[in-house]
Amino acid sequence: MSAALTAAEIARAIDPNALESLHGKSMLLTSDWAADEIATLCQTAELFEALDRAGVKTPLFEHQLNLAVFFDASTRTKSSWAGASARLGSTPIVFDGSSTQVSHGETAEETGAMLGMNSHALGFRHDLILGEGNTFMRSAKKGIDDYLAASGSERVVPVVNLQCDVDHPTQSLADLCWLRERFGDLRGKRIAVSWAYSPSYAKPLSVPQGLITLLTRFGMDVRLAHPEGYDLIPETVEQAHRFAAESGGAFTTGGSMDEAFADADIVYPKSWGPYDLMLERVEANRRGDREALAAIEKRALERNRRHTDWICDERRMGLTNEALYMHCLPADIGAEVSAGVMDGARVDLAREANKKVYVVMALLAAAKQRNLLGILEELL
């Protein structure tokens, strides 16, 4: 089967009305979207991937500017934003958040209005402090939406969450696309979302939260495991229980990595910070107290060191149903995952990561372009 034919088949399976209903939508949390909308978004990402692989160009938004602001480090997401923008014919610009006037107290609303009036899509990464990132993005969106409404503009400037304190939508959607490719029907497939040891830094909670609140919506059997004290934001755990009940899936939590791995079809072991210390960080950050922040980070890493046995190694993979190993990357090799498991998964991990560029393309194009399906079918 040729790649172009595959693209045609994917296009035929997309409901044009469902795709049209995504017009104007921003992506701030996957839980803001209906499960059907997310499925349509994934199909659209799959279509963009098939077109790209077939060499079909998709310059839908020439002479447009896509701005992203990162308040934290990134390799994959920054390059996916740039890669998606280039494939759509637009120019990407990525700012370091600390180089903007936000560092001098400019409000999120003002930042959103200023950046949005000069561009055609906005992305933000703001993931380090609980309670702040998603709130910032919503305020930035309000800033640009208010400006556009007041100026009578019909431009759509979607806002894309490129990782916040609650969710990492472009990651979890890329993961979902990878799972759809590998397994097709995801109902009943068992995934272990497990904490794993990291000596490097107290990582955000948004990846595990994003996974449990997305994969439970598609009938998967999601097992969350972590040591005591490494809870996630309670609302996300409550949501995961509710979504699993609604979708006919399952969601369980536990304190054993071995139990979570038993008979799993997929494992997703990754580290995150201790919940109480992540909360302590909020106040220290508000005070701008760098010494306190450094001390909290040191205590977090000391706490992590009590759990060095939480590693995804060959023994643990042996407990699974020949599971697919997944990670958002970068992984701490020798801590979160053994070198041997990592070596065996390297190509699969790159393929998982590569889905993000098509997810960003789908988010931007679905939000901005009316009759997107018709236009892409013509390009075919």
- Please give the residue ranges that form the binding site for ligand CP (CB under 6 A): 74-77, 163, 171, 328-329
Task: Name which of 93 and 380 has its Cβ closer to ligand CP.
Answer: 93
CB of 171 to ligand CP, least distance (A): 5
Q: How far is CA 39 from CA 25, 45, 88, 92, 303, in A?
A: 15, 10, 21, 26, 39
Q: How far is CA 102 from CA 96, 207, 298, in A?
A: 11, 25, 27
CB of 126 to ligand CP, least distance (A): 13
Task: Name which of 64 and 74 has its Cβ closer to ligand CP.
Answer: 74
The alpha carbon of residue 7 and the mean position of all alpha carbons in its chain are separated, in whole angstroms, by 24
CB of 75 to ligand CP, least distance (A): 4
Task: Name which of 245 and 329 has its Cβ closer to ligand CP.
Answer: 329
Residues 6+ apart with CB under 8 A from 340: 313, 314
Cβ atoms of residues 274 and 229 within 8 Å: yes
Task: Name which of 163 and 247 has its Cβ closer to ligand CP.
Answer: 163
CB of 118 to ligand CP, least distance (A): 24
Cβ atoms of residues 73 and 163 within 8 Å: no
* Helices H / strands E in the chain, number of each: 15, 9
CB of 333 to ligand CP, least distance (A): 15
Task: Name which of 43 and 163 has its Cβ closer to ligand CP.
Answer: 163
Helix axis angle, 169-183 to 339-368, nearest 10°: 110
Query: Is residue 330 reached through a cis peptide bond, with omega within 30 degrees of 0 on the bond before it?
Result: yes
**What is the C-alpha to C-alpha distance for residues 152 and 237, in angstroms, rounded to an integer?**
41
CB of 76 to ligand CP, least distance (A): 4
251 has which bridge partners?
A: 222
**What is the C-alpha to C-alpha distance for residues 148 and 154, in angstroms, rounded to an integer?**
7
333 has which bridge partners?
A: 337
CB of 312 to ligand CP, least distance (A): 17
Task: Name which of 76 and 120 has its Cβ closer to ligand CP.
Answer: 76
Task: Name which of 64 and 79 has its Cβ closer to ligand CP.
Answer: 79
